[in-house]
Structure 1
């Protein structure tokens, strides 16, 4: 389970912009007006092979008689998120400076007894701004000047956060023995029914009404001599339909279930077809880098003509994730369950890789030879070697020069080419570039006595 970082602060201080920056997404709505964020937004931040969950929260502290009730609800949601987090990123506005509301918030946040990183935003181009001194009155040691819009100071902040966070809780024995499979989808698509049919008993509550499952339930089973952990998750609805506090935390649990799984099965209602929410959920799985199977449920009740239309719609709307495996099932009648497990075993087998650095580097060189990167500023980007970073998800680290200039399109090409070379099934390859430092940078070449005498002779000869 990953550690959680909550971003809190007054309205319109730049929390959503920072959230988008940390998660490398545009999931949070950003506009130059207060109160844009009301619901909590969840995402995953990656930094130097470390990752943690990030929660973007609504603005707190401001008072408005017209929106008194909704502000009270936003404050309640934000404080609950803050109490669940391992660390708080408290954001303030560097242009406005220290306010009375900030001082009140400082005393409220201290009561939570959590590590607090005071982040002073909107200091574009001047992170040494004198306004920072005012915030030392709050008595917080960890103060970080940044510009979330331009990205100034973000790397230093992430370095400090990853050092402060405790390591994620892992059960290494369980990871070795079990294949963890998370079942994800909208409410009432048949996730719990699928697990009940797999284990052959009514282990999970099922009812013909959305929202029956509210927490992530783990079910351990043994099938054909292999151990599995099936994780049933709460159905994730569109954000504008989620009002209940319990349901919001169910979303967080579902996100954690994705991160803890080896393989994620996205269940879709074949009768309803592909919806916008299905695409959003698949995007979340893609961001996690996990292996994915798209299980189209209720397939036995669909006519052939309609089935052809659904398949065409799947290929069109899910074209952004071309490595996913499709499977057509009926959770109620048990159709396709055996073949589903064959596919799970095949995916797990393909991801059990343990290649040496020389082997992986050779694969990278072959991909680069077929399609070299573009020349940047008259110099060709050189990718020197590649090694395995993590195996779940599969993350490959590539070292070279000018790696910061590599376009995202080339990164995508390498990911696909390496996935093909590794013979991966339904699994993406995450790539992380590291810029090689010049070992001679800052070092002065000290000449020997013989070299000095030779240099003098050459200078004397050239003068003639």
Structure 2
């Protein structure tokens, strides 16, 4: 296991800015208002040839005013518990505040090594402000500017010195199969992540919009690693009001593009709504493996036909992703949640499938013989051969006499024949149409 460094502090001291600085990209949402970070964010970094995991956390408030604030504090406390070193961030512009004193006392009780970062020292003449923080009794304060990158090297040297020694010859771990969990707000994405992870890793709240960042959680199951990415609920464009929420939607879309498999989570108590179709369409356009996960099944009144009827309805409403498996679960009770790992693995294998060229062309010729391509503009379409030119998703090049004569309906027919012949459940299938003789195709059209 890699060592873990948890970045903690009261709200709005620059923890997410420091996290982004260490990661080397804008991963955590940064805003000048407190309370933007809520869940724990994990990213692996390398510093002076030492690999470690840094964790961004929400601001610790001694006396949270609401349930979400209490959950944020609990998430930060969990991060402290699992950390090898705690990186305590304070605000050099305000000086030590009472809340800093309270956090410092909590950290002392944890017994963990603590490195104190005095942030927002944006000019060398302000460096002396760090001395005020000796009053916290946590040792030397390191003056930094997370926004400008000054003082980061000295700070990280102190972090590395506080870490336990690196094990000799430790093998590099593969990241694992990436699963992005997406859907509308309040369909139970975070509850599903917690059920899959077997712990309270993401904040679960009935308030829509609780999750704002895309959160990575590594889970090992039967010796196999999965990276679960919980994302913010995706609303319709016209309903995205806050800047932070706009960033969250973009982050969810980025998480889909980086994933191997996307779980589109639907709410069984509501059924399929228009926004579910937009989200499934976004996952399809991203070219990822796709699984439709219907959550909250425990809240549905059922008879012996309800399950089949519900699956049929989902397939009818989302017929443009008919290749995606439908799994009905309850994150709250754990019903059928364990099956999602096996389904994700199968979908990922299909997503990376290599199709034998000879068999591909056998299927193509059988399809043409059964239903010849229709003529358009008086000249017949002739499909010469096919070959696979890519994976993730599988992409097939069709070489034809004239690409303009291939109607989308016949391409859909060929897709269905290929799906019958090959294990392509859960993955999009792409076609690239190429002229077998470009000069002749131009001549025939003229």
The TM-score range, normalised by the shorter chain, is 0.5 to 0.7
**Structure 1 pair 258/328, CA: closer, same or farther in 2 (3 Å)?**
same
Determine if contact 1:381/1:402 at 8 Å carries over to the other structure.
yes
Distance 2:435 2:189 in 1: 44
**Structure 1 pair 430/176, CA: closer, same or farther in 2 (3 Å)?**
farther
Match of 2:32 in 1: none
Instruction: Work out whether 1:256 is the aligned partner of 2:278.
Output: no
Q: Please show how residues 187-206 of structure 1 align to structure 2 within 5 Å.
A: 187-206=185-204
Q: Please show how residues 16-35 of structure 1 align to structure 2 within 5 Å.
A: none
Deviations 1:102-124 (A, max 9, x none): xxxxxxxxxxxxxxxxxxxxxxx
Distance 2:421 2:394 in 1: 13
**Structure 1 pair 388/336, CA: closer, same or farther in 2 (3 Å)?**
same
Determine if contact 1:197/1:334 at 8 Å carries over to the other structure.
yes
User: How high is the TM-score relative to the length of structure 1?
Assistant: 0.54
Determine if contact 1:404/1:435 at 8 Å carries over to the other structure.
no
Distance 1:384 1:223 in 2: 45
Determine if contact 1:418/1:429 at 8 Å carries over to the other structure.
no
Match of 2:278 in 1: 280
Deviations 1:78-132 (A, max 9, x none): xxxxxxxxxxxxxxxxxxxxxxxxxxxxxxxxxxxxxxxxxxxxxxxxxxxxxxx
Determine if contact 2:292/2:326 at 8 Å carries over to the other structure.
yes
Match of 2:183 in 1: 185
Instruction: Work out whether 1:350 is the aligned partner of 2:350.
Output: yes
Determine if contact 1:193/1:331 at 8 Å carries over to the other structure.
yes
Instruction: Give the superposed CA RMSD.
Output: 2.5
Q: Secondary structure at the match of 2:209?
A: coil
Distance 2:173 2:438 in 1: 39
**Structure 1 pair 175/400, CA: closer, same or farther in 2 (3 Å)?**
farther
Determine if contact 2:181/2:262 at 8 Å carries over to the other structure.
yes
Distance 1:187 1:372 in 2: 46
Determine if contact 1:183/1:264 at 8 Å carries over to the other structure.
yes
Match of 1:54 in 2: none
Determine if contact 1:419/1:428 at 8 Å carries over to the other structure.
no
Q: Secondary structure at the match of 1:296?
A: strand
Match of 1:45 in 2: none
Distance 1:263 1:218 in 2: 14
Match of 2:299 in 1: 301
Distance 2:341 2:291 in 1: 11
Q: Secondary structure at the match of 2:319?
A: coil
Equivalent residues, number? 269
Instruction: Work out whether 1:214 is the aligned partner of 2:215.
Output: no
Deviations 1:237-278 (A, max 9, x none): 122211111111211111122222221111111112221111
Match of 2:390 in 1: 390
Distance 1:336 1:406 in 2: 43
Provide structure 2 residue ranges, at least 5 long, that are not aligned to the other structure: 1-171
User: How high is the TM-score relative to the length of structure 2?
Assistant: 0.56
Deviations 1:406-438 (A, max 9, x none): 111111111121122112212231111012335
Determine if contact 2:175/2:227 at 8 Å carries over to the other structure.
no
Determine if contact 2:435/2:441 at 8 Å carries over to the other structure.
no
Provide structure 1 residue ranges, at least 5 long, that are not aligned to the other structure: 1-173, 443-464
